[in-house]
């Protein structure tokens, strides 16, 4: 009997997550072994189940998809990671592949395109949705394209981005330290560095900037 490939789904929208799970259930080669609704839970599920494939949204609470990719790729270099996202900009595409993802699929893809993406990454190939400009991936693979001229955002380290995201989501310094397993003093240092690099001086400005960069979604009134 053929062994099914284990899949973890990390997606914060329940309806989309359930639909994706139902879709994968029709594939006899795949088995969904766990679901996560935020970035930290995604890492926990990956460590617990060591799946063959992680299907990952980029915009999730507590820890962004790119941070998850960085963490998973460090711990599990052979695991396949396919990102499912609404973001089509060069910045997201390039940062996602730089972090170590194997594929980048837009959420409005067809069923056929999704399974093509899964088959490609499981076969060790790189996949990117045809809807994204071919030159983005071509430039990335050739090594000739980098993110646009260095901006303040690009001076923010991955850890600082994680802290900024949690600050914008309303977590206090101690709570952030607990979530990221770092001291409150370290969180305060990261916060000070972020403010200095971005020239922003209060929580409201940091939150607005995080929303602008797509780290968090603006709450509806």
- Whether residues 14 and 123 share a domain: the answer is yes
Eight-class DSSP state of 181: T
Q: 162 and 108 in one domain?
A: no
Among residues 95, 112, 142, which one ends one of the domains?
142
CA dist 219 and 213 (Å) reads 15
148, part of any domain: no
Residue 38 is predicted with a pLDDT of 94
127-128/103-106 β-pairing: parallel
CA distance 7 to 16: 16
Shared-domain flag, residues 129 and 45: yes
CATH number at residue 59: 3.40.50.2300
Instruction: Decide: 15 and 37 in contact? Cβ < 8 Å.
Output: no
pTM: 0.76
Domain boundary among 110, 142, 174: 142
Domain limits for position 14: 5-142
Burial 91-123 (b: 16+ CB within 10 A, else e): ebbbbbbebbbbbbbbeebeeebbbbbbebbbe
Q: What is the model's pLDDT at position 191?
A: 92
Burial of 144 (0-12, 13-18, 19+ CB in 10 A): exposed
Residue 217 lies in a domain: no
For the chain, give the number of residues.
221
- Per-residue pLDDT 10s for the chain (221 aa) are 678 999 999 999 999 999 999 999 988 999 999 999 999 999 999 999 999 999 999 988 888 899 999 999 999 999 999 999 988 877 788 889 989 999 999 998 899 999 999 999 999 999 998 877 565 656 555 554 444 445 688 788 888 989 999 999 899 999 999 989 899 999 999 999 999 988 888 888 888 888 888 888 766 54
Same domain assignment for residues 112 and 9: yes
The reported pLDDT for the residue numbered 119 is 95
pLDDT score recorded for residue 214: 80
Q: 112 and 167, same structural domain?
A: no
Our count of domains for the chain comes to 2
Scanning the structure block, which residue is given the tokens 């170590």? 100
Question: What's the pLDDT score for residue 21?
Answer: 94
């Amino acid at each position: 009997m053929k062994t099914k490939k284990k899949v973890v789904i990390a997606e914060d929208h329940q309806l989309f997550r359930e639909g994706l799970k139902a879709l994968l259930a029709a594939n006899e080669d795949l088995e969904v072994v766990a679901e996560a609704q935020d970035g930290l839970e995604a890492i926990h599920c990956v460590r617990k189940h060591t799946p063959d494939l992680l299907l990952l949204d980029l915009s999730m609470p507590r820890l962004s998809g790119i941070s998850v990719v960085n963490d998973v790729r460090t711990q599990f270099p052979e695991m396949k990671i396919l990102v499912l996202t609404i973001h089509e900009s060069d910045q997201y595409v390039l940062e996602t592949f730089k972090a170590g993802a194997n594929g980048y699929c837009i959420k409005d893809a067809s069923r056929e395109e999704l399974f093509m993406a899964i088959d490609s990454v499981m076969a060790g190939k790189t996949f990117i949705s045809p809807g994204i400009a071919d030159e983005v991936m071509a430039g990335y693979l050739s090594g000739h394209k980098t993110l646009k001229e260095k901006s303040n955002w690009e001076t923010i380290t991955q850890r600082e981005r994680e802290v900024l995201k949690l600050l914008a989501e309303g977590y206090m310094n101690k709570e952030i330290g607990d979530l990221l397993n770092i001291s409150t003093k370290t969180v305060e240092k990261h916060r000070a560095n972020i403010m200095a690099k971005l020239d922003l001086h209060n929580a409201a400005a940091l939150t607005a900037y995080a929303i602008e960069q797509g780290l968090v979604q603006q709450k509806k009134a």
